[in-house]
Amino acid sequence: MLLVADSGSTNTNWCLLSEKNEVQYFETEGYNPYFVSVSHIVQSLKAGLPPNINPEQIHVIYFYGSGCFEEKTINIKIALKQIFANADINIGLDLLGSARAVLGDKPGFAAILGTGTNSCLYDGNKIIANIDSLGYLMGDEGSGYYMGKKLLGDYIRGYMPVAVRSEFYKIYGVSREEIMEQVYAEKLPNRYCAGFTRFISESVSDKSYTVKIVKDSFMDFFECLVTKYINYKDYSFNCTGSVAFAFKNILSETAAVYGMKTGVILKTPIEGLAKYHQPVIVNK
| pLDDT tens-digit map of 32-65 | 888 888 999 999 999 999 999 998 999 999 999 9
Give residue-wise pLDDT tens across range 180-213.
999 999 988 999 999 999 999 999 999 999 999 9
What angle do the packed helices 144-157 and 162-172 form, to 10 degrees?
A: 110
Return the higher-pLDDT residue of 283 and 140.
140
What's the average model confidence in pLDDT over 207-230? 97
What's the average model confidence in pLDDT over 164-173? 96
What is the structure's pLDDT at 131?
A: 96
pLDDT tier, 21 (very low <50, low <70, confident <90, very high otherwise) = confident
Which residues, including other chains, have CB under 8 Å from residue 59's CB and lie 6 or more apart?
1, 2, 86, 87, 88, 284
Return the higher-pLDDT residue of 10 and 7.
7
Work out the end-to-end distance of the chain between its first and last CA atoms, rounded to an integer number of angstroms: 10
Nearest by Cα to 27 from 2, 49, 3, 46:
49
d(CA 94, CA 216): 25
pLDDT tier, 68 (very low <50, low <70, confident <90, very high otherwise) = confident
What is the structure's pLDDT at 280?
A: 55
* Pair type for strands 237-240 and 108-113: parallel
pLDDT tier, 11 (very low <50, low <70, confident <90, very high otherwise) = confident
What is the structure's pLDDT at 87?
A: 93
Check pLDDT > 50 for residue 162: yes
Which residues, including other chains, have CB under 8 Å from residue 205's CB and lie 6 or more apart?
161, 163, 164, 166, 167
Query: How much is the mean pLDDT over the chain?
Result: 92
Q: Which domains does the chain have, with CATH numbers?
A: 2-98+270-282 (3.30.420.40), 138-215 (1.10.720.160)
What is the structure's pLDDT at 284?
A: 45
pLDDT tier, 283 (very low <50, low <70, confident <90, very high otherwise) = very low
Neighbour order of strands in the sheet with 23-29:
23-29, 11-17, 2-7, 60-65, 88-93
pLDDT tier, 279 (very low <50, low <70, confident <90, very high otherwise) = low
What is the structure's pLDDT at 188?
A: 84
